[in-house]
Structure 1
Amino acid sequence: MASASGVFLAFLSLALFTSVLAATENLEPSALPTLPPANPDISKDPCAFSDIDKLMYRLENTSLSYNTSLLVETCDDICRLLYGVGNPDILGIGAMVSYALQGIVAMTFGPCLLIIYMFWGETRHGLFKLLLRLTIPTHRANAFTAVCVLISLAIRLFGKAPAFERRFCGTFAVYQLFVSGVGIAFYFFFHRFKDRVQSILFIALFGASVISCLAGFGVQMLHIPGAMNVLAGRTEGGAEFFSSPPQKIFTDCHEMKGFPWAHPGEDNFASGEVTGLCVGSIVLLLGFVVLFIWKQKRLDQANKHASTSSRFSRFNLARTALLILPFLITASTGSALVRMFMAMQKIRQDIQKYGKDEYKDNEWGFGQVMAVIVWVQYVGDLVTILIAAFTNDDEEKTSQGEREDVAPAANINQPRREASQATSSSPVPDQTGNMDSVEQQSNQSSAVEMPTMLARQRSTWTRNGAGTYLPA
């Protein structure tokens, strides 16, 4: 009995084994989510991803085979690889110093110069003229810096840049757009283009800067179609992206490791900052329109023949608005630049916080030093202009003093002529006075045009017996 049951069990086991083999013959290997191997041909370490491209390639092509939560929990460097640990070429300490200098000089020779023009442009013409000469190298240096750094930014954005870096680039593009826009607007307001070649070069340089800013801003904010889509190398968007492995891994980094939330369409500014930028831009635009019309119309010159009471009663409100407007433009522009710069600084602090020992953006290297040395040429241009201005002032003062010393010599012979007129009795006083007047004008004109002739001895006409200059 026992042997029969044993034979039956053996037969049943063999039948079950045969049926299992037949059922699983055409099945794929187990689809249980596991860790993605970094490079199975070289390393058996599933966390040894050398760059973000390899990680995204694995997640995109074999997305159903891997457990992203297990990957984030097991591999400590995955989140730092996705979010980034900095880029000294764009976020370095030297580059940040250069960006700060851009904002400072743009404000100084832009809105602040507008205030000087409105209040002291007419009374201190020499100072304002000197400041206008300084604006040319200032805006040129700003445009040159913007174009150079935005070229590297565009190259970086079209690659698989980390999340922190993409967020910084979006803010930075708006910052450069604002700086370039302020520079070109104020340059057009204060300068008249006399040299056509210089004007074309200047407009082309600023145009390249503005186009680069718009391109960088568009890549970041339009997302092509999203910032993380570009990061993952995807071109499709929509709700399905939030359930894809690239977005899952960002969600896991946020929930499990405490990294900031990142998703397609994330705003680079808070709503209040966006409102401030829009209001500042609108005020800036309206201010320039009003000031340009005022500069062309010249309200004071158009109404100089009107009475004082009617003049002020009619244009008092307009003049008050024109005096307040430069301060509003300066406040809005300065606030926008400060907000954007502080936003970039906050991103750098986040990178330093989560990057830990791998963060190297605060170290001074060749690139950081070169980012600051770019402004050495600008300082050299300013020094050259200042030296030339002071030298010309000294020459003008010297020539003016020489003219003042020569001018009294024109009246040396005037007492002699008056004495001769007092001692002589002329029967034709009108004719004598007219001839003396002609002689005086001739001497004065010759004293102004040819000062060297004043040293010569004056020749006088002899009078006849009747006491006149006519023949006897």
Structure 2
Amino acid sequence: MVLNATWIPRLAHAVQVDNCTEAAILWRVLVNEDRYKGYTNDTYGAILHGLSRHLQIKRLEEPSAHAVFEWIDTSDLMQGVVQNAFYSRGMCKSTICPLLNWTGNPDVAGRGMLATYIVQAILISLYIPMILAVRFERTPSRNSLLRRTILAAQHSSGTFLNASFVFSIAMLCASLIELASKFQHQLPKPSTGALLVLMPFASVLPVALLQLSASKMLRRNQGRVLLWVLMAALMSAILHMTTRPWYMDSNLNGRKIEEKWERICVDMKNVAKMQWFAVAIGIFVLLGTVTYVLMFMAMYFRHPTLVSWNTRISQPLWWLGLILGFVGMWSCLGWFVHLQIKMSVLGGEHNKDAEWSFGQVLAITTWVPVLVEFAYIWWERPVEALSGRLMDPYEVQEVSKETEGFEEARRRDTV
């Protein structure tokens, strides 16, 4: 038996690894499911080099490749050897981690999804100032190109809001289904779990920003209240799942290669912070949703006391929600990009986050109708462009002010 051979060291420290290349080879041997397949000579050479001092002191001959590989497969000592190699050479992450075949989180963090998040955030940042200019009557002269652009943003904001609602609800549903599926079998990977909470919650913030900025221009308010209640229910279900601490290192013991990659290559403290930041975003949005629904009910039923309170607090709450929502949106996106840059460097060639999948292409097309609507309204002017959305015998007519009947009806249900 090889295990009785005199060359086998009794302590892991006997195998000394003094460079990152050999440390990476030994990590591959221990945690890769393919073992040393395709790397036989490199593995054998790394073990002999690590044992050279031990063999010299003991005056022993070099073991054969067969004996070395049998020792690797049957001895628990190799675990200690690899841990010593990694933790004694902590700067080897950039060499070791790309070899561990981590596949990434393409469904929520792929290139297409990143592009989708960025396009939405940029559009929101462009739309809000223009909508606020209309809200506070700061539009330029009647014939300027800037005025045409502002009006195009105003009258396409409904399409943008609807698209954002659809995207956010889809993100929340997909996250809930994915988390529920993983919890049935095994806790999700830490990075996956954190992203499945952060990005769906972050997708709600642009919806809130659009609704807040255009609240005095929008119609169909009852329907939007129902959508907010639906999103609040989905977010509550996801928040309930965060009570299980999947981001803890102890939950990675004995798991396959992708989870082991996270243990050695990901800053687990940073993942935990991102998790709690996502929870804070979720709680903030839930509180805002409850406030919005209560204010809507107060205006709908016209209770004198509630209407009085709504008049006092609505404007400060409006500014607070707008500022915090905007900061939160870009903070979420910045944290996401920061994490992805770090993980892409360490992910290696098997990291699928850099790929464009079928679903990611579909996701980014969510904003195409918004851009098309904006372009039509800008080119044709609001009356002609909006009339083009209607079928005969209906058309849009411009009036100097809203009709008294519609104004009265909207006053009852607008927050």
TM-score (norm 2): 0.51
| 1:260 corresponding residue in structure 2 | 267
Question: Residue 110 of structure 2 contacts residue 354 of structure 2 at CA under 8 Å; is this kept in 1?
Answer: yes
Cα gap change, 1:122/1:346 in structure 2, threshold over 3 Å: closer, same or farther?
closer
- Give the secondary-structure state (helix, strand or coil) at the position aligned to 1:170: helix
Distance 2:128 2:168 in 1: 17
* 2:122 aligned with 1:104: yes
Distance 2:230 2:315 in 1: 34
Cα gap change, 1:277/1:90 in structure 2, threshold over 3 Å: closer, same or farther?
closer
Letter in structure 2 aligned against 1:374: T
Distance 2:141 2:30 in 1: 74
Distance 1:48 1:344 in 2: 28
Letter in structure 1 aligned against 2:246: A
- Give the secondary-structure state (helix, strand or coil) at the position aligned to 2:268: coil
Which residues of structure 2 form unaligned runs of 5+? 1-28, 35-75, 87-92, 299-312, 387-394, 398-415
| 1:460 corresponding residue in structure 2 | none
| Deviations 1:94-144, CA, capped at 9 Å, x for gaps | 111111222233444457623541242799899877544222100111111
Question: Residue 102 of structure 2 contacts residue 348 of structure 2 at CA under 8 Å; is this kept in 1?
Answer: no
Shift of 1:181: 3.1
- Give the secondary-structure state (helix, strand or coil) at the position aligned to 2:273: coil
Question: Residue 103 of structure 2 contacts residue 347 of structure 2 at CA under 8 Å; is this kept in 1?
Answer: yes
Shift of 1:48: 5.5
Shift of 1:146: 1.8
Question: Residue 112 of structure 2 contacts residue 361 of structure 2 at CA under 8 Å; is this kept in 1?
Answer: yes
Letter in structure 2 aligned against 1:134: S
Question: Residue 111 of structure 2 contacts residue 355 of structure 2 at CA under 8 Å; is this kept in 1?
Answer: yes
| 2:382 corresponding residue in structure 1 | 389
Question: Residue 154 of structure 1 contacts residue 216 of structure 1 at CA under 8 Å; is this kept in 2?
Answer: yes
- Give the secondary-structure state (helix, strand or coil) at the position aligned to 2:361: helix
Letter in structure 2 aligned against 1:174: F
Cα gap change, 1:283/1:392 in structure 2, threshold over 3 Å: closer, same or farther?
closer
| 1:349 corresponding residue in structure 2 | 341
Higher relative contact order, chain-length normalized (CA < 8 Å, sep 6+): 2
| 1:133 corresponding residue in structure 2 | 155
Which residues of structure 1 form unaligned runs of 5+? 1-44, 51-64, 232-240, 294-320, 398-472
| 1:180 corresponding residue in structure 2 | 207
Question: Residue 173 of structure 1 contacts residue 217 of structure 1 at CA under 8 Å; is this kept in 2?
Answer: no
* 2:108 aligned with 1:90: yes
Distance 1:168 1:323 in 2: 33
| 1:455 corresponding residue in structure 2 | none
Question: Residue 94 of structure 1 contacts residue 364 of structure 1 at CA under 8 Å; is this kept in 2?
Answer: yes
Shift of 1:69: 5.5
| 2:220 corresponding residue in structure 1 | 193
TM-score (norm 1): 0.46
Tell me the number of residue pairs that the alignment of Structure 1 and Structure 2 aligns: 299
Distance 2:235 2:160 in 1: 19
| 1:150 corresponding residue in structure 2 | 172
Larger Rg: 1
Cα gap change, 1:48/1:259 in structure 2, threshold over 3 Å: closer, same or farther?
closer
| Deviations 1:385-417, CA, capped at 9 Å, x for gaps | 442626389x999xxxxxxxxxxxxxxxxxxxx
| 2:63 corresponding residue in structure 1 | none
Shift of 1:189: 4.3
| 1:297 corresponding residue in structure 2 | none
Letter in structure 2 aligned against 1:355: G
Question: Residue 139 of structure 2 contacts residue 150 of structure 2 at CA under 8 Å; is this kept in 1?
Answer: yes
Cα gap change, 1:269/1:350 in structure 2, threshold over 3 Å: closer, same or farther?
same
- Give the secondary-structure state (helix, strand or coil) at the position aligned to 1:191: coil
Shift of 1:341: 0.3
Structure 1 counterpart of 2:237, from 215, 220, 226: 215
Letter in structure 2 aligned against 1:172: M
Distance 1:46 1:83 in 2: 13
| 1:362 corresponding residue in structure 2 | 354
